[in-house]
Amino acid sequence: MKQLLLRWLAVMGTGVALAAEPRLLNSLVVIVDQEIITLKDVLQYIAPAVEVITRTYAGQPEVLRQKLQEAERDGVEQLVERKLILHEFERAGYNLPESLIEDRVKERLRERFGGDRAAMTRTLQSQGMTYEAFRRRLREDIIIGAMRARNIGADKIIVSPHKIEKYYAENLDKFRIKDQLKLRAIMLNAGAGRSREAARRLAAEILAKLREGAPFDEMARVYSEDTYRAQGGDRGWIERGDLRKELAEAAFNLKPGQPSEVIEVGDTLWILLVEDARANQIRTLPEVRDEIVQTLQAEEQARLNREWIQRLKAKSFVRYFSS
């Protein structure tokens, strides 16, 4: 484990630099029947996740270490599951048409690379993967998806009304909507390139026009200097915690249709408009029924998957090695 983390920290600057220290990278992690999973296999498999984790937790060394450990453990188990499922596919004597694999390759090429095969090749090379390995991975993904659907597909899981009602009753807080406002905002910079007094004068002019009946969304499209300008300042439905304290206090004291006074926050000036409001409430069961069904199906699928994998392990040889 420690070696894996050190290896990742050493190679992240150059992507998946898996050519370094081949003796370590080729060390055994797991044997599944007659197939081996090496450290290199694990690193390649978790590379996308590790890149995200490293960016997200770059300033938190201890959290980064824990997240990398979790990624390594999850990656090993996922690779073991993949091997077990692929072996079960072979034992059952199933076949996968080559045309299906080719269609999936073309689909991926079109969707991710705009049909540019050279761009796809460059991307694969940067990930330390050959085209043949990429095609093999797609084939395995198709097989695993089909085998999971056959054994634990959502269409095989029936969620009873009683379970739905029970889940709803036991998880009411999950369906609670806090006080919310449908908000629009105009933001002006009072820093570089404009004096605070000039910004205040412009904000006062905008507010005067709004009070005379000028449409808020049109004024926002003309004057607002934030990323919501193109949407007419529309922030959608927001909760108190979504705003800075100064803005939240002003917004939640407005009546729908009423523009705020000019609010100064640091080097910015704001004018807010509440379009609608809804009070703290719990969504009704009919409103959340589909969400509950999806949640319960996912939980049941996870349980069935664990049991299925355990049955596959029971009739296979699986041996783990420390890394």
Across all residues in the chain, what is the average pLDDT? 87
Token pair for residue 302?
A: 């996870």
- Is 0.85 topped by the overall pTM? no
From CA 282, how far away is CA 4, in angstroms rounded? Answer: 46
Under the banding of pLDDT at 50, 70 and 90, the label for residue 278 is: confident
Q: 277 in the Ramachandran plot: left (φ > 0), alpha (ψ -120 to 50) or beta?
A: beta
- Helices 285-314 and 161-170 pack at an angle, to 10 degrees, of 110
DSSP-assigned beta bridge partners for residue 274:
183
Q: Phi and psi of 274, rounded to 5°?
A: -95, 120
From CA 47, how far away is CA 55, in angstroms rounded? Answer: 12
Alpha helices in 212-284 (DSSP H): 216-223, 245-251
pLDDT by residue (tens digit) across 158-180? 899 999 999 999 999 889 888 88
Helix (H) or strand (E) holding 271: strand 268-278
From CA 129, how far away is CA 121, in angstroms rounded? Answer: 9
State the pLDDT at residue 203: 94
- Judge contact between 84 and 13, C-beta under 8 A: no
pLDDT by residue (tens digit) across 18-44? 444 556 667 889 999 989 999 888 888
Helix (H) or strand (E) holding 83: helix 61-91
Strand order in the sheet with 263-265: 234-239, 180-189, 268-278, 263-265
